Amino acid sequence: MRSRMIRPLSPRLLLVLATVLFAPGAFAGTVYQWKDAKGVTHYADAPPPGQQGVKNRELQDAPAAPQQAALTPEEANCATARKNLEQLKSSQPVGLDANGDGKPDAPMTAEERAKQVQRTEWVLANHCKQPDAAP
């Protein structure tokens, strides 16, 4: 059975996720489309000088699907902590990545696992809101 490891989200990963979420707005704007003498379609952010048949196209981001609001970093960390706690309380083996190379160095002992369960429960109780109960 493969061992699963538990790692908190790093600040670098959170920064990358935030960048990906907010970057699409930078791509909205005007795009010009035209065909050259050989019939090849071109797109650019400025019209070509002296080109006939240039079409002006306005591009905008599609409206976000009204599913669920984006999680704040704190909410995302709390969700990760809940998943980690679920894994720690399961019967599946859990590996500990002590050197940060992304691979479990060794499976957690029962004592290490019990301590990690206590730490995770404390973090959830003191820093996270309780998730809404399912209807």
20: left (phi over 0), alpha (psi -120 to 50) or beta: alpha
Helix (H, G, I), strand (E, B) or coil at 29: strand
* pLDDT value for 43: 77
Any domain includes 78: yes
In a domain? residue 11: no
Task: Answer yes or no: is 112 within a domain.
Answer: yes
Nearest CA to 6 out of 126, 108, 125 is that of 108
Cα–Cα distances (Å) from 87 to 40, 65, 74, 118, 134, in that order, read 55, 31, 20, 13, 21
**What is the structure's pLDDT at 33?**
78
The whole-angstrom separation of Cα 99 and Cα 134 is 38
Domain span including residue 113: 70-127
Beta bridge partners of residue 125, listed in sequence order: none
Q: Could you state, in chain order, the average pLDDT of each consecutive group of 10 residues for the chain (135 residues)?
A: 62 66 60 78 77 68 62 83 90 81 83 90 86 56
- Cα–Cα distance for residue pair 18/77, rounded to 1 Å: 14
- Residue 6: what pLDDT? 63
Residue 10 counted as domain residue: no
Question: What is the domain count for the chain?
Answer: 1
Q: Is residue 88 one of the residues assigned to a domain? A: yes
Q: Identify the CA nearest to 95 among candidates 82, 104, 83.
A: 104
